[in-house]
Amino acid sequence: MADPTLCSRCRMNLFRRSPLLPTPTQTAEVDALLRSNLAAAAGFGTMLDDGTAESELARYATEIEGVQMRLQELIMERDKLEEYISRVRSACTAHIRRLPQEILGEILEHCAPLLEEYKMRLGVVEFMESERERLAKLPLLNLAKVSSRWRQIIMKTPQLWATVVVDWHLWRDYDKEVHMDLLSETIERSAHHALTVILLGPVNTYDCPPIRILLQHASSWVHLYANITSTLHLLFAPSRFPNLKSLEIGWADAPRLFSVKGANAVPSLRSFSYKGNLNNLPTVPWKQLVFFEYTAASSHAWFHADHFHQLPWRILPKGSTLHFSSRLYSPGSNFRQRSLNSSPIQAQIARLTLRLGPDDPQEDAASVLPVLFSDLVLPELVHLHLLNYEESSPQWPIWEPHEFAALASRSGFPQNVRSLALGVDITRVELFAALRLLEALEELRLSDCPNNRQPLITDALLQDLSSPLFDEDTGTGDDSDATHLVPQLRLLELITLGCYTEAALVDFLASRVSLRATRQDVERPFRIELHLVRDPEEQTLNGRSEEFWKRVENWKRERVLEVEYNDEWNRLGWREGAEDSWR
């Protein structure tokens, strides 16, 4: 390598060395003098007297400064060249630049904040620290900085701007004009695309410019999330929402929302979710809904005797879905006597999800399910999900086999029910009896209960689901599908403590694969989803043995089995929103 201190032409040194640089002899002489008390000889420090030393130091400083400046220039030139080469390479080889505009638009749509993120408190969601940033849709603006093409696509893709979030409480006098400009720009960019409107916080004034400008585009609303006050109700009253399909109300103090015009105000409404006091449940055109979700206020008990009949059981149309959640459900002490004196309510719903927690864990846990079972007739029910209210709930509702058997008998469950999910306190014997009633069941989802009882999901349960049923008349069992428990089962999901052996699981899978292979009308493979709670090292089943996975992989290659396995599940029970994926 060439010496960088020599001229490339004449090979002379580019930097003149100082004549004052010491030789080894001079260095040793100074060291000896410093170690003694002798005085320096005459003429020893002449360079200090005539200023030569300071001059040489200054010369070195000047030369070093020049070298550093040149070095910095070289570094900057190298970085600039490196960036340019990278951009040239990207222009020549980056596949994303070759994507059609429609596909790139879909990719950018996935980069935009989700609906639930827009509802979150500011500062929790990345890139949105203020109402101004949320109105401006700062994440989209950041994406638009990548290139002129990205900016053009983002600005010209209406669906990216079709979610509008307004929190009127955060509009201060000094920034209202800026906020209105941002809101107007968003609506303009949405270009009459179907709008999702989210109104956070209550609106208690008629002078609310953002609501008024949004109502000018009411014909484009397809989804509305709001807290309904009497003021907002009056602001909405003159308007029609011809394309509104989904309505979510966080709470309401105006029980007559949309009641004046009825279905004429919201002719396309199909989904309605309400959270709050049932006495303020808004009136909507129930008979046109396909989905209704009600979450009771969590601040006080929800009394069955007072409120159960207020739910729209009878008027929801055939085939619809009802979700009902209550953290503090109180059946009442006289529910058995009341059930004898009243007729059950007949509902035509096809899907029912109940997510309930007892008001009094000691007194109510055993009464929650029987009072519900005794008060319903569900002849069209296909999906039944009885879930714990929350994962951390100390007490789950306790199963009541006799009332369930009565409900199943009068509702035709053996022929109709295809899906069952349980987050309740139930024994293996009780589950066995319930499953014998559900001959058409195809999907079963179970969880071990966190209470201090014997786990539900054990070898015995897997054997129940594997072995032919015992015929009490003949005293024998056979392998025909008609004599197996839930013979049409195609999906089993387990949230489990893992208190079963690998051998029992393999036997169960083998029996189900074999059973479905004997049926000519079966196209889909059997599917099992295992979610283990606790450290895997503490499990009876570790799910990792070579033999186990070899069997599983063989079945998967034959396309007769699908497996989802997770050994890092946090808690027993069903997380809120888990049922969304079952719809």
Q: Are 253 and 227 in contact (CB under 8 A)?
A: no
* Cross-strand bridge partners of residue 398: 425
Q: Of 454, 443, 449, 459, which Cα lies nearest the Cα of 571? A: 449
Lowest pLDDT segment from 59-73, 197-211, 368-382, 400-414: 197-211
Rounded Cα distance, 161 and 118, in Å: 12
Is 580's pLDDT higher than 70?
no
- Output the pLDDT for position 522: 63
pLDDT of 333: 60
Q: Compute the distance between CA of residue 398 and CA of residue 425 in angstroms, rounded to an integer.
A: 5
Asked if 388 and 353 touch (Cβ cutoff 8 Å), the reply is no
CB 526 within 8 A of CB 559: no
Q: Do 387 and 416 contact (CB within 8 A), yes or no?
A: no
Q: How many CB atoms lie within 10 A of CB 406?
A: 15
pLDDT value, residue 130: 81
**Mean per-residue pLDDT, 248-276:** 73
Distance from the first to the final alpha carbon of the chain: 71
Residue 522 to residue 516: CA distance in whole angstroms: 7
DSSP state of 524: S
- Determine whether 311 is exposed, middle or buried from the number of CB atoms within 10 Å of its CB (0-12, 13-18, 19+): middle
Which has more confidence, 15 or 128?
15
- pTM for this one? 0.77
| Better pLDDT: 20 or 70 | 70
Q: Where is pLDDT greater, at 207 or 486?
A: 486
Neighbouring residues of 305: CB distance < 8 A, sequence distance ≥ 6:
332, 335, 338
- Per-domain boundaries in the chain: 98-191, 194-276, 290-441, 447-583
pLDDT at 475: 45
Does the pLDDT at position 238 exceed 80? no
| Average pLDDT of the residues in 506-516 | 88
Please determine, for residue 252, whether its predicted confidence score (pLDDT) is greater than 70: no
pLDDT band at 284; cut points 50, 70, 90? confident
**DSSP string computed for 388-448:** ES-TT-S-PPBP-HHHHHHHHHHHTHHHH--EEEE-SB--HHHHHHHHHT-TT--EEEEE-
Look at residue 437 in the predicted model and tell me its pLDDT: 94
The yes-or-no verdict on residue 257 having pLDDT over 70 is: no
Element (H, E) at 195: strand 195-200
Tokens in use for 139? Answer: 């994440």
**pLDDT at residue 393 greater than cutoff 70:** no
Residue 282 has pLDDT above 50, yes or no: yes
Task: Give residue 173's identity as a one-letter amino acid code.
Answer: D
pLDDT tens track for 298-339: 777 888 888 888 899 999 999 999 999 988 888 876 555 444
Beta strand 291-296 with 271-276 is parallel
The region of weakest confidence among 256-260, 322-326, 395-399 is: 256-260
pLDDT of residue 330: 86
Q: Which pLDDT score, from 0 to 100, does residue 273 have?
A: 92
Distance, CA of 222 to CA of 197 (rounded, Å) = 8
pLDDT value of residue 26: 83
Range in 50-64, 368-382, 463-477 the model is least confident about: 463-477
Q: What is the mean pLDDT of the chain?
A: 82
Q: Name the maximum alpha-carbon separation found in the chain.
A: 130
Beta bridge partners of 329: 302, 358
Say whether pLDDT at 520 is over 70: no
CA atoms within 13 A on the CB side of 575: 9
Q: Give the pLDDT mean for 496-519.
A: 87
Choice among 225-229, 315-319, 554-558 with the minimum mean pLDDT: 225-229
- Closest by CA to 387, choosing from 360, 354, 365, 359, is 354
Mean pLDDT (whole number) for 86-108: 77
Annotate 271-336 with three-state secondary structure. EEEEEECHHHCCCCCHHHCCEEEEEECCCCCEEHHHHHHHCCCCCCCCCCEEEEEEEEEECCCCHH
pLDDT for the residue 260: 39
The pLDDT of residue 47 is 77
Work out the pLDDT band at 481, boundaries 50, 70, 90: very low
Q: Is 41 helix (H, G, I), strand (E, B) or coil?
A: coil
